Amino acid sequence: MKEKFQNGAEKIKKTMLYQLYTRIFLPCIQFIIEILHDSTIEALKYYRNSNGYPQYLIAQEKVGVRKYHSS
């Protein structure tokens, strides 16, 4: 009887941890990754030139630290 109770308690703990993981930690991690991904994609789109190289790297090579944007 005691073993059954302990097994049941362990199962409840495992399911509670699973619920906590899937409902709280995973959505938070996914949200953070989406924010980082979106901002990175936007930055790369904004800084691309006609050759596909990041525009700000070329600008730093040409004029030091100042950035320029091609129209």
Element (H, E) at 43: helix 26-46
> Taking every pair of C-alpha atoms in the chain, what is the biggest distance, in angstroms?
78
Task: Yes or no: say if 59 and 67 are a contact pair by the CB < 8 Å rule.
Answer: yes
Taken as a whole, the chain contains a residue count of 71
Report the amino acid identity of residue 71. S
Nearest to 69 by CA among 40, 43, 30: 43
For residue range 32-70, list pLDDT tens digits in order: 888 877 776 666 656 555 565 555 555 555 554 455 555
- The pLDDT confidence band at residue 30, using thresholds 50, 70 and 90, is confident
